[in-house]
Amino acid sequence: MLGRINHIAIAVPNLTAAAMPYKNLGATVSDPQPLPEHGVTVVFVELENTKVELLEPLGENSPIWGFLAKNPAGGMHHICYEVADLLAARDRAVALGLRVLGDGAPKIGAHGKPVLFLHPKDFSGTLTELEQI
């Protein structure tokens, strides 16, 4: 059911500063993309085998603020896996007793594809995103 890793997300207090080491090492870094529905602005670091998503809070109600309050320098926020059928993956996760965050309805993510998140307590403390391919 789980496919390849789509990206690893890192919450950061400043996108420009966080992107510089990647740029300096020759990685391609996307332009910032605000995602008001998710309360973040993101950039993607494109790598040969995956992407790194840098997340900066967008507005005072961003869920990233709470994370950065506990981790002021930033840190790994979530890992995203690709799935062929997001609704089937959600239903299977629920049947297995895993907790889907929010109302369980997918939202459109940064790649323009449906996504949803699974509770970090069900994945050894790691917030898990599923993205339909």
Give me the active site residues, please.
129
Task: Give the list of residues 6+ apart from residue 69 with CB closer than 8 angstroms, or none.
Answer: none
Q: How many residues does the chain have?
A: 133
How many CB atoms sit inside 10 A of residue 1's CB? Answer: 11
d(CA 88, CA 115): 12
Q: What is the DSSP string of 86-100?
A: HHHHHHHHHHTTPPB
d(CA 52, CA 28): 11
Q: Which helix (H) or strand (E) holds 64?
A: helix 63-70
Give the chain's radius of gyration (CA, Å).
15
